[in-house]
Amino acid sequence: MSIENLSAGVSAFTSNVFLVTGERTALVDVGANYDVVSAVESRVDGLDTVVLTHTHRDHVENVDVVRAAFDVETVGYDTTHPAVDAELGATVRLGDHDYTVLHTPGHKNDHVCLYAPTAQVCFAGDLVFADGAFGRTDLEEGDRETLVRSIDRLLDAVDSDLDALYAGHGPSVTDGAYATIEQAGRAARR
């Protein structure tokens, strides 16, 4: 299994877009304001699924072009949103691993994190970021107390030897991932 951020080096208002290859090829989020379809096509022949961490525009604007190019279904938490074709279950297969779906509101009501205990990998969306930063709560549906509870829920769910934290913006964390979540929890409480 490999995980690659297709938004790396893109100069546009977008989220990170992670291509997960292996048994089940997937995108985690689709980004906005750049040609993600060409980025996918230059690496793989097709997609099996698209998983949305939440439905803010910078994470979902490219949904229609990705659906059309790959004839793929998008899954997310809120099936009333036009970017979501089907509801996420308790787990989702990405690459070679099953990821537990954790509902983690506070940044947005439909926000989820994805955690694979066998791979020790977490896709954190906009809940937490590198250097202990945390998601904005000043946008519609944002709520600081709810975000703090979601960070605590994530800490309870992941193992302390978490290998990698893939955030919705900025760099991924491959050293001290669990400590990064702890730091974000402390910062969000201030």
Q: Which residue has the tokens 């590198």?
A: 130
- pLDDT above 90 covers a percentage of the chain that reads 99
**Cα distance between residue 180 and residue 94, in whole Å:** 23
Give me 139's structure tokens.
């946008």
- Alpha-helical (H) ranges within 77-176 are 144-157
Is residue 147 very low, low, confident or very high in pLDDT (cuts 50, 70, 90)? very high
Averaged pLDDT, 88-106: 98
Distance, CA of 105 to CA of 148 (rounded, Å): 9
Long-range CB contacts (within 8 A, 24+) of 43-46: 43/4, 43/6, 43/19, 44/19, 46/70, 46/72
**Residue pLDDT, tens place only, 18-75:** 999 999 999 999 999 999 999 999 999 999 999 999 999 999 999 999 999 999 999 9
pTM above 0.85, yes or no: yes
Residue 156: its H or E element = helix 144-157
Cβ atoms < 10 Å from Cβ of 144 = 16
Q: What is the mean pLDDT of the chain?
A: 97
Phi and psi of 41, rounded to 5°?
-60, -30
Mean pLDDT (whole number) for 143-169: 98
Q: Is the dihedral of CA 183, 117, 103, 72 positive or negative?
A: positive
Structural element, H or E, at residue 179: helix 177-189
What pLDDT shows up at residue 29?
98
From CA 40, how far away is CA 59, in angstroms rounded?
Answer: 16
Average of per-residue pLDDT across 116-138: 98
3-state SS assignment for residue 36: helix
Question: CA-based angle 24:3:185, to the nearest 5?
Answer: 115
> Does 1 have pLDDT greater than 90?
no
CATH of domain 2-189: 3.60.15.10
Q: Average pLDDT, stretch 96-119?
A: 98
Q: How many Cα atoms are found within 13 Å in the side-chain-facing hemisphere of 145?
A: 0
Is-contact 81 54, C-beta < 8 A?
A: no
- The residue type found at 65 is V
